Amino acid sequence: MAFIIGVVGAGQMGSGIAYVCALNGFKVELQDISSEQLEKSLATIESNLKKQSKKGTISDEQVKEALGRINRVNKLDELKDASIIIEAATEKEDIKIDIFRKLDEVTSDEVILASNTSSISITKIAAATSRPSKVIGMHFMNPVPVMKLVEVIRGLATSDETYQFVVELAKKLGKEPVLSKDYAGFIVNRILIPMINEAIFTYYEGIGTIEDIDKAMKLGTNQPMGPFTLADFIGLDTVLYILEILYNEFKDPKYRPCPLLYKMVSAGYFGRKSGKGFYNYE
């Protein structure tokens, strides 16, 4: 049987994961309940592949072959022949747990179920299945084709075999895996999201303007983009959600979301994806 990677969710992250898998020679079953989203995803993948081709980093033939490896499906049970499934759905605990419960029912016991979650407990997700030893976190960074890191998160019951399999797969996808223990935020967001929150507090308290805080962090700490630009890129709703997970798990006031962040999310200012965040993209 051919090795197939299932990807659940054809949004920004799922599309990026499918792109990287297909470009590196793997057959991909890309699932989303929305046919329109699947069409949009494939168009984005094709556009990005052609951009690479124009730059000369890949050939036109590689573009054609990669696109030919991606099959679009609408139902989770159509992923039953996958060897591993990477879930990249909305960053909501109840949605992810429901997906894993359904995947557990429609796939064989040998299939590894990985989550691209950036903050939710892998142990808790695994508990919704009958195969907790086969459940693991595989957190890609955004944008997936560009960023080299993959956080690999072992749940309490994740087996050594599952861990080693996912580490080797990440390497075959051209990524650099790092191991994180299963605590809220893992490594990257445990550090990054509180930093963004502190930047919002810095602006909220009138210490500096959005532009000056971004410039200070870029030029003073050699970051490629400032915290407000990054927050808009991630999505302010996602930043708030991760902060709430950190605060609820650790009960430490250092994770308390800035009131301004609550207000902006309530107003629908999510960043780039909504057209307005700390900067205006309309």
Among this protein's residues, is 116 annotated catalytic? no
CB 165 within 8 A of CB 112: yes
Per the annotation, the verdict on 189 as an active-site residue is yes
Which residue in 15, 87, 139, 197 is the catalytic one? 139
Catalytic residue among 118, 119, 180, 197: 118
Closest CA to 249 of 194, 174, 171: 194
CA dist 225 and 214 (Å) reads 7
Closest CA to 128 of 95, 100, 89, 94: 100
Residue 240 and residue 12: Cα distance in Å, rounded?
Answer: 19
- How far is residue 134's CA from residue 115's CA, in Å, rounded to a whole number? 11
- 176 included as an active-site residue: no
Q: Give dist(CA 69, CA 67) in Å, integer.
A: 5
Give catalytic status of residue 211 as yes or no: no
- In angstroms, the CA 115 to CA 104 distance is 13
64 torsion bin: left (phi>0), alpha (psi -120 to 50), beta (else):
alpha
Q: Out of 41, 121, 151, 197, which one is annotated catalytic? A: 151
Of 172, 171, 140, the C-alpha closest to 11 is 140
Provide the token pair at 47. 């556009």
Evaluate whether 123 touches 96 at the Cβ level (below 8 Å): no
Catalytic residues: 118, 139, 151, 189
